[in-house]
Chain A
Amino acid sequence: MNAERNIQGFINKEKQIQPNPFLATRIMARIETPQVEPASRWRPVVLTVCLVLTIVVGIGLGKSYQPTFPSYTDVSINDSDIEGLAYFNLNGDE
């Protein structure tokens, strides 16, 4: 049957594919090399939570800030009190 023959042809073609001659060496090298532990799956979660917390705390602090304006008091100074002109009038020459 044509379909069967085509399937067999496809399978034979795939079976003829040869692996890299250095595959065994690659496998042994991989086994002999200690693997670095992959980063924990929680790491991105913790980082995201920290980032969100920082933003929330920042917004909270920003909202809670109450500006303190300096209390302006009216200063009324009578110049005539500062400089007593009468002083100059107490001149003995006169």
Chain B
Amino acid sequence: MSDQQIIEEIQKGNQTLFRLLVDKYQKMVFVTAIGFLHSKEDAEDLTQEIFVKVWSSLSSFKGDSEFSTWLYRIAVNSCINTVQKKQHNRFVELAEEWLQSIFHTESGEKDSQQLMEANETDAAIQKAIDSLPISQRTAFLLSVYDELSQKEIARVMQRTEGAVEQLLQRAKTNLQKKLGSPVGK
């Protein structure tokens, strides 16, 4: 059964078929959310919210684009909104980082040096990715996390392929600039 057929059936009233779409796409949405949020719990909550949004606006899906493209658009927009909301709670994040650093120093008895280095590297990479401008970040995450082609990214972001190529190039250059010193040990 194709996505279009499933959606038509759901629109006719066979709502239990929505489970098929959830089963098929939950991992994809979750990975996208992980890329933006870097937290399993937050990504799960957001995945749930995205599917609720999809459910409530499924009647407006006309099939002009593929369902997966439409779903990606909803997912990416939801992720961006969540990230922007989270930026307002910067203080809480800083407190969490501080608590984490305390926790790591207390529990790091065995190979703590290695663990701390790995954590520092990961934190630096996460920070660098998160500091990318939102369009570069979106293109980059769709490319590396979801492994979408430039054509697919262009469809999701509603841009030209050339623009996406440029965004990806800039994202990579920016990441290399930001990670040049702390990562390249």
Q: Contact residues of A with B, CB < 8 Å?
A: 1-4, 6-8, 10-11, 13-15, 17, 19-20, 23-24, 26-28, 30-31
Chain B residue contacts of A15, Cβ below 8 A = 31, 34, 145
B:35-53 near A, CB below 8 Å: 35, 38, 40, 43-44, 47-48, 51-52
17 contacts between A and B (CB under 8 A): A1-B176, A6-B121, A6-B179, A10-B122, A11-B144, A14-B34, A19-B27, A19-B47, A24-B26, A27-B26, A27-B48, A27-B51, A27-B52, A28-B18, A30-B48, A31-B18, A31-B52
B110 within 8 A of A: no
| Pairwise interchain contact A11-B44, C-beta atoms closer than 8 A | no
Contact A11 B145 (CB under 8 A): yes
**Minimum CB–CB distance for B159 against chain A, Å:** 22
Task: Pick the most buried of B26, B125, B175, B176: most chain A CB atoms within 10 A of its CB.
Answer: B125
Q: Give 7 closest A-B pairs by Cβ, nearest first.
A: A2-B184, A10-B125, A3-B179, A19-B30, A3-B183, A27-B51, A24-B22
Is chain B's interface secondary structure helix, strand, loop, or mixed overall? helix
User: How far is A33 from B23 in the complex, measured between Cα atoms in Å?
Assistant: 19
In the assembled complex, the Cα of A48 lies from the Cα of B135 at a distance in Å of 41
Is there an interface contact between B145 and A28, defined as CB atoms closer than 8 Å?
no
With the chains together, A55 CA to B22 CA distance in Å? 54
Name A24's closest neighbour in chain B (CB-CB): B22
